[in-house]
Amino acid sequence: MGDCSNSKLLPMCDSGEAPFDTRRYYKHIHDNVHGNIYLDKQALNFIDTEQFQRLRELKQLGLGYMVYPGAVHSRFEHSLGVYWLASDAVHRLKTYQGQELGIESFDVQTVKLAGLLHDVGHGPFSHLFEREILPRVRSGIKWSHEDMSLKMIDYIVDENSIDIDSGTLKKVKEMIVASEAGKSVSSKEKQFLYDIVANGRNGIDVDKFDYIERDTRACGLRCNFQFQRLMETMRVIDNEICYRAKEYLTIHKLFSTRADLHRTVYTHPKVKAIEFMVVDALIKANDHLEIDSYIDEPAKYWMLDDTIVKTIEASTHQDLEESRNLIRRIRRRDIYQYCNEFTVSKENLEYFKNVTAQDIICSQNSDAHLNEEDVIVTNIKIDLANGRNNPLERVSFFQDYDSFEKFHIKEDCVSQLLPTCYQDLIVRVYARDPKLVDAVTNAFENFQTKTYGEKTQVHAITEKKRRLKYNGN
């Protein structure tokens, strides 16, 4: 992606808002996903700050690049992409239904800024920081990157003296947390605008459009989902963004592609193994570096990014020796060993209780001597963005452009090839020490037999892995 500072300067119209069709924005850059992205003055006021530029040091897929070498794109690129798609979406609605919906320049600006700023509160290594690290160093804490984004936005505005209307700022922050459970907007007026960036109604939003397209490209995967079709056919009915009925399968591809990314990239066995090592390293380093203290104040938090690993690696302090050794193991690909996994059967999903390392330890053979810290168990849920339910049940459709009624579509009216279950629950086990692969694997198999009466795993551990003594490549 090109640098904003070297982009072409374009004139603005007298109203302060560049006409979308003529692309008369202040600057433009070239993005490898969306082509030319045009940035207005207000967006640049935020982009050209130290706090927003921090997003360049946060990889979008965290440690995914350790398995997919091309996955080195950042939250910075993604944020610009979401800004651009949000801008495209709201301008399309304004062009085709603007007078009917009462869309004003104020609305356009808030949607665009919500897309730009939705990830400024993200921590290091994608979602790993808030889901795996913080709960273990601060028990009972309720923290999310969305809430931190709200604090960061206020801090950026104050620290950089950005001139922005308080009403705009309030709406921007409401749009960012619109998808969070329990969050509500202050007014039902123009509720459809809250569907664009973070859609809490049905999960169809430009945030997903960008990261699905960007992540699949970076990892060298094919993406069958075409978000452009949805952008072209969306329409607001009864204060909700709806889609043409013929796009049912296009929307299904959106959710199924997201699930495929979770299975093949985000929860890839080796990616997770490396993530567990980084989690262990940062937790061991926390007493010395006080990493958890960064979340207390935005003034400190914005200095925390993926380079924390380099800080540990370059340090010679004795208190960081264990963390340093773990990071060096990653460099040598001497990683925690994936042993095996099984998928919970459909009939057992409802009553399933998360498997723990203690469950595996209690199932070890009498001649084994495993401790709880030798084993890592992860319970992975992969769904179509609506748990065990069909996400398309929440989507409203319209028949054609001459109709003014929205409706839901029953899946059996579309195809008999659609899934009958919408969630996978995978139990996966790792050994921290490669020399314990055989003992952990046997204990894991014993657990399955004791719990389900048989081994339910599909994969057989090879003799090569069972004989592994040192390296786990």
Whether 241 and 196 have beta carbons less than 8 Å apart is answered as yes
User: Rg for the chain (alpha carbons), in Å?
Assistant: 24
Catalytic residues: 145
As beta bridge partners, residue 383 has: 423
CA angle 353, 356, 359 (to 5 degrees): 95
Residue 275 CA to residue 66 CA, distance in Å, equals 10
Task: Provide the terminal-to-terminal Cα distance of the chain, rounded to the nearest Å.
Answer: 32
Residue 74 CA to residue 2 CA, distance in Å, equals 13
Whether 333 and 464 have beta carbons less than 8 Å apart is answered as no
Spatial CB neighbours of 292, under 8 Å, sequence gap ≥ 6: 134, 137, 138, 286
Spatial CB neighbours of 348, under 8 Å, sequence gap ≥ 6: 452
Strands (E), 174-324: 235-237, 240-244
Alpha carbon separation from 50 to 25, 69, 160, 348 (Å, rounded) = 22, 27, 9, 50
Spatial CB neighbours of 140, under 8 Å, sequence gap ≥ 6: none
As beta bridge partners, residue 39 has: 27
Residue 469 CA to residue 433 CA, distance in Å, equals 9
Alpha carbon separation from 24 to 27, 175, 401 (Å, rounded) = 9, 26, 30
Whether 392 and 430 have beta carbons less than 8 Å apart is answered as no
Helices and strands of the chain, counted as H and E runs: 18, 8
Spatial CB neighbours of 381, under 8 Å, sequence gap ≥ 6: 423, 424, 425
* Of 203, 56, 209, 29, residue with least CA distance to 120: 56
* Of 97, 57, 136, residue with least CA distance to 401: 97
Alpha carbon separation from 8 to 37, 44, 86 (Å, rounded) = 11, 13, 22
Bridge pairing between strands 235-237 and 27-31: unpaired
Q: What are phi and psi of 72, to 5 degrees?
A: -110, 10
